[in-house]
Structure 1
Amino acid sequence: MATTHDSTHTAAAHVPGTMDATAQERTFVGFVRFMAWAGGLSIAVLIFLALANA
């Protein structure tokens, strides 16, 4: 099926620096925090395995 584009639709003009990015910033901070915990946990598991001669 072919899609048709409405030629009367115009996108709103974007003004740089006006977007509210608080949700993206919170998501990024949460992701970085999660990855830090995951990395620390992975290192702790590897140290435990090395000490337990697994």
Structure 2
Amino acid sequence: MADRSEVAYTTAGGNDYPAHEQTYEGFIMLVKYGTATVALVLILMAFFLT
């Protein structure tokens, strides 16, 4: 059996955590504004199409 006590991604060299965090923050911002945009479109459709 292999010794699996050490997780590879935490010890791997070359991990760029600042870039990872920047990408994650961009994704969260996209989801937030995308959700708000879809909600606004639905509200406007409900108002103008009824």
TM-score, structure 1 as length reference: 0.61
**2:21 counterpart of 1:49:** no
Structure (1/2) with the larger helix percentage: 2
**2:29 counterpart of 1:27:** no
Give the distance between the partners of 1:33 and 1:23, measured in 2 at CA.
Answer: 15
Q: Which runs of 5+ in 2 are unaligned?
A: 1-9
Identity of aligned residues (%): 26
Higher Rg of the two aligned structures = 1
Q: Counterpart of 2:21 in 1: which secondary structure?
A: helix
Query: Partner letter of residue 33 of structure 2?
Result: W
**2:30 counterpart of 1:38:** no
